[in-house]
Structure 1
Amino acid sequence: MAQAMKIAIVDDEQDMRQSISQWLALSGYDTETFASAEDALKQLGPDYPGIVISDIKMPGMDGMQFLKKLMGNDSALPVIMITGHGDVPMAVEAMRVGAFDFLEKPFSPDRMSELAKRATVARRLTLDNRALRRELSDGTQIMNKLIGASPDMVRLREDILDLGQADGHVLIDGETGTGKTLVAHALHAVGSRAGKKFVLVSCAALEDEALSKRLFGPMLPEDSQLPAIEEARGGTLVLEDIEALSDTSQARLLSVINQQGTPAETRIIAISNLQEAGKTCEDALRPDLFYRLAALRLTMPPLRQRGEDILTLFTRLSEQFAEEYGCDAPKVSAQEAAQLLQAPWPGNVRQLINVAERAVLQSRRGSGTIASLLMSDHEEMQPVMTTEGKPLKEYVEAFERMLIDNTMRRHKGSIASVMDELCLPRRTLNEKMAKYGLQRADYL
């Protein structure tokens, strides 16, 4: 679950520090107090998980100097300044420097709580966005999101590492919901352009004229963005729904590619989401552009072909949602495991995410089954589907592996606890863990 936001209270008057701290603590905040700006600066780093409330008049380093130091370390840190009665010019100056807002003495506790709430919401959004940017630029982190031990996923991760180091343009295709944009991020994150710009444009989200302007310009004086081709210079430009490009835009994009030479100054990753039966990206693009973009190609495997990965993903996702909602993850029966493995999954991983979240929510209410969720998505599905697709032995092994994996994870690698819950002797458990490639060290 999300970490509670902190509030740092900085004031040289002990009574004031304590009263503010007590009131905010009653409102559910985690507070910490400092008697001077100098002491506070030792603890308040660039990614401080909270906000600051500071008096403006303090001995030594005063509030304005303190504010400037904080803004120099992290300009997005919300700082609420406490000013004396009538110090409006000083409050205005504080806002100009970067203060989030100010409280004029004497102030009401409710007003302070209201400001604290607004500031902490803004801070959480900032920190979440920073974490996401770091995650999407960290090759190790993003590769860890590409979960699965199926041959298709093992090969995909290897291809990403290989193509990430190459410099040619890439075409990623595959069914909707398979994670094509995530793979584009991964290709950027593991390659030599990882520290450079990553620009993503959805070609289907804009009308032709607006898309042409977004990609190639010219931009108007009041526009804050550069054309995407310029914005991504030296880095990676990702074009989602590449098949939506008009003939004119295709010609302009080809011209840009031809002018870049080898190696390309800007790498282009094209993503195709064609859903029309019998039609491919090659059919939708002019041949010379298609072959330039498809110099390197990745095709995402559909979820229904990934076997036990379905159960692994469902377990991880349901655990994440259970933590978010503050409840236990739903337990999967052998019948439900078989249904998960046999479901057609037309929406692929995106659909599995939705099913996992709904399973956690209905488990929290104490009603419903995973089977009912699958049935609601696909009315043509039968209640039990173990008669086709794979031998029964494979379904049993998949369920057995998931059960041991879940139990080991829940007991944090305690062999004794797992043996007790599953009623297995030590030797049998060891044999099954070896068979399924499960290692105790991974759960500690």
Structure 2
Amino acid sequence: MARAMKVAIVDDEADMRQSISQWLALSGFDTETYASAEDALKGLNADFPGVVVSDIKMPGMDGMTFLKKLMSMDSGLPVILITSHGDVPMAVEAMRVGAFDFLEKPFNPDRMTELAKRATQLRRLTLDNRALRRELSDGTVLMKKLIGSSPVMERLREDILDLGQADSHVLIDGETGTGKTLVAHALHAVGARAGRKFVTISCAAWSEDQLSSKLFGPAEDGSLPLVEEARGGTLCLEDIESLSHPLQSRLLTVINEQGTPPETRIIAICNEHAPDTTLENVLRSDLYYRLGAMTIVLPPLRTRGEDILTLFTRMSEQFAEEYGCEAPQVTAQEAAQLLQAPWPGNVRQLVNIAERAVLQNRRGSGSIASLLMADNEASGPALTTEGKPLKDYVEAFERMLIDNTMRRHKGSIVAVMEELCLPRRTLNEKMAKYGLSRADYV
């Protein structure tokens, strides 16, 4: 479950600090108190996981000076100021400087709780966005998100590492839900442009005039056109198949003007085209050959074998932790059903089913089979999967079972042997066979 957000309370009056702390603690917040702004600054940092409540009038450093120092440290940190009656003009000025809001003494405690809740929601969103930006700029983290040990996934990771080092433009194709945007970020993050801008836009989300303005200018809000904003970095064009022919022509002009190697790398993502057509049919041929010099086609989930079970396990564990409950245990029959499912929505569909399976398990009802059946019926006619020998299903389930047990026992060989009733030699042989290493679980 999500941890309670912190509230740092700064006030030189001990009674006020204690009363605010007690009230917010009863409302579910994790509080910490400081008798002065100077002390608070020693305990706070740019990624403080919470908000600050501070009096304005304090000896030494006052609340306004304290606010300015906090804003210079982290402009996204919500600060709620407590004012006396005559301090309201100062509080209004504080709002201009960057304060989240202010309370005038004597204040209603419920109003304090309401403001703290709103501020913590904003703070959580800010920190989540920061974490996402860091994640999307870290090639190592992104590569780890490309879960799977199937040959097609091994080859995909190798392609990303190889193409990431190149300067040429890249075309990414594949069925919906296969992770094309994640691969685009990974290509940028593992290459020489990793420290530069990664600018992305969906060509399907805007009208032709709006898209033209955003890409090439002049932008209505006066901002730089995206081809300029991305200069020196990467411009990612999602839904490239939606780009009109006139805009394809303008994009081609921009590409031709860059020379070789290109100043700005373009990664084009195709999210949907008719089954009987190719991107070569959808795009102008001259643009297609400029963008498609390097191409990555993502594998559909149904071709990835036991990766399906690995992904389902990881996703269900993550959701179980988020919802504060146990992850569902997959039976041999359910493992076979997961492996046989057509997965028209690919990884995105699997993530949705994993979350619903966790919620079902928390209620103590439903089954993975019923979720798969309902999902595939809602999706309409789906692609079919090729049949596999029984041995493949048995081995995939066995690998999943050992992997889950090792993970649950944090690599304790003795505990795994006892739970699975396996002698050590047999367990070692099976782990070697399935490419499992104890070091990955410790």
TM-score over 0.5 for the pair: yes
**What is the number of residues matched between the two proteins?**
437
Structure 1 residue runs without a partner (length 5+): 382-386
Q: Kindly indicate whether the alpha-carbon contact (under 8 Å) linking 1:202 and 1:239 is maintained by their aligned counterparts in 2.
A: yes
Q: Kindly indicate whether the alpha-carbon contact (under 8 Å) linking 2:301 and 2:308 is maintained by their aligned counterparts in 1.
A: yes
2:208 is the counterpart of 1:208: yes
- Which aligned pairs between 1:164-175 and structure 2 lie closer than 5 A? 164-175=164-175
Paired AA for residue 183 in structure 2: V
Q: Kindly indicate whether the alpha-carbon contact (under 8 Å) linking 2:343 and 2:350 is maintained by their aligned counterparts in 1.
A: yes
Q: Kindly indicate whether the alpha-carbon contact (under 8 Å) linking 1:139 and 1:189 is maintained by their aligned counterparts in 2.
A: yes
Q: Kindly indicate whether the alpha-carbon contact (under 8 Å) linking 1:236 and 1:266 is maintained by their aligned counterparts in 2.
A: yes
Q: Kindly indicate whether the alpha-carbon contact (under 8 Å) linking 1:274 and 1:280 is maintained by their aligned counterparts in 2.
A: no
SS at match of 2:85: coil
- Which whole-Å deviations, capped at 9, do the CAs of 1:352-389 have from their partners, x for residues lacking one? 111111111111111111111111123499xxxxx962
Counterpart of 1:305? 303
Q: 1:268 aligns with which of 263, 266, 285?
A: 266
Q: Kindly indicate whether the alpha-carbon contact (under 8 Å) linking 2:273 and 2:279 is maintained by their aligned counterparts in 1.
A: no
- Which whole-Å deviations, capped at 9, do the CAs of 1:377-427 have from their partners, x for residues lacking one? 23499xxxxx96211111101100000100111111122221221122222
SS at match of 2:80: strand
Counterpart of 2:391? 393
Paired AA for residue 279 in structure 2: C
- Which aligned pairs between 1:106-125 and structure 2 lie closer than 5 A? 106-125=106-125
Counterpart of 1:384? none
SS at match of 1:268: strand
Q: Kindly indicate whether the alpha-carbon contact (under 8 Å) linking 1:338 and 1:395 is maintained by their aligned counterparts in 2.
A: yes
**In 2: Cα distance, 1:80 partner to 1:37 partner:** 14
**In 2: Cα distance, 1:304 partner to 1:111 partner:** 53
SS at match of 1:237: strand
Paired AA for residue 347 in structure 1: G
- Which aligned pairs between 1:47-62 and structure 2 lie closer than 5 A? 47-62=47-62
Q: Kindly indicate whether the alpha-carbon contact (under 8 Å) linking 2:241 and 2:273 is maintained by their aligned counterparts in 1.
A: no
2:395 is the counterpart of 1:420: no
CA positional deviation for 1:183: 0.3
Measured at CA, do residues 388 and 283 of structure 1 come closer, stay the same or move farther in structure 2, by a change above 3 Å? closer
- Which aligned pairs between 1:396-415 and structure 2 lie closer than 5 A? 396-415=394-413
- Which whole-Å deviations, capped at 9, do the CAs of 1:330-352 have from their partners, x for residues lacking one? 11111111111111111111111
CA positional deviation for 1:12: 1.0
2:284 is the counterpart of 1:282: no
CA positional deviation for 1:142: 0.9
2:129 is the counterpart of 1:129: yes
**In 2: Cα distance, 1:74 partner to 1:380 partner:** 46
**In 2: Cα distance, 1:19 partner to 1:204 partner:** 53
**In 2: Cα distance, 1:380 partner to 1:84 partner:** 59
**In 2: Cα distance, 1:72 partner to 1:300 partner:** 44
Counterpart of 2:382? none
Paired AA for residue 166 in structure 2: A
Counterpart of 1:358? 356
**In 1: Cα distance, 2:204 partner to 2:24 partner:** 47
2:102 is the counterpart of 1:102: yes
**In 2: Cα distance, 1:226 partner to 1:219 partner:** 7
Counterpart of 2:4? 4
**In 2: Cα distance, 1:41 partner to 1:230 partner:** 39
Counterpart of 2:369? 371
**In 1: Cα distance, 2:270 partner to 2:97 partner:** 46
Structure 2 residue runs without a partner (length 5+): 380-384
CA positional deviation for 1:4: 2.0
SS at match of 1:42: helix
Measured at CA, do residues 224 and 416 of structure 1 come closer, stay the same or move farther in structure 2, by a change above 3 Å? farther
- Which whole-Å deviations, capped at 9, do the CAs of 1:7-64 have from their partners, x for residues lacking one? 0011111111111111111111000011111111011101100000111111111111
SS at match of 2:296: strand
SS at match of 1:315: helix
- Which whole-Å deviations, capped at 9, do the CAs of 1:106-154 have from their partners, x for residues lacking one? 1121111111111111111110111111111111111110000011111
TM-score by length of 2: 0.96
CA RMSD of aligned residues (A): 1.5
Q: 1:321 aligns with which of 310, 319, 322?
A: 319
Larger mean CA deviation between 249-258 and 432-441 belongs to: 432-441
**In 2: Cα distance, 1:104 partner to 1:205 partner:** 45
Q: Kindly indicate whether the alpha-carbon contact (under 8 Å) linking 2:328 and 2:357 is maintained by their aligned counterparts in 1.
A: yes
Counterpart of 2:292? 294
2:42 is the counterpart of 1:42: yes
**In 1: Cα distance, 2:272 partner to 2:323 partner:** 35
Counterpart of 2:90? 90
Measured at CA, do residues 123 and 204 of structure 1 come closer, stay the same or move farther in structure 2, by a change above 3 Å? same
Counterpart of 1:250? 248
Q: 2:428 aligns with which of 427, 430, 443?
A: 430
**In 2: Cα distance, 1:116 partner to 1:12 partner:** 20
Q: Kindly indicate whether the alpha-carbon contact (under 8 Å) linking 1:274 and 1:281 is maintained by their aligned counterparts in 2.
A: no
SS at match of 1:51: strand
Paired AA for residue 134 in structure 1: R
Counterpart of 2:66? 66
- Which aligned pairs between 1:94-243 and structure 2 lie closer than 5 A? 94-220=94-220, 223=221, 225-243=223-241
**In 2: Cα distance, 1:121 partner to 1:233 partner:** 34
**In 1: Cα distance, 2:396 partner to 2:219 partner:** 55
**In 1: Cα distance, 2:44 partner to 2:288 partner:** 51
**In 2: Cα distance, 1:281 partner to 1:9 partner:** 58
SS at match of 1:166: coil
**In 2: Cα distance, 1:426 partner to 1:143 partner:** 32
**In 1: Cα distance, 2:149 partner to 2:66 partner:** 52
**In 2: Cα distance, 1:209 partner to 1:115 partner:** 41
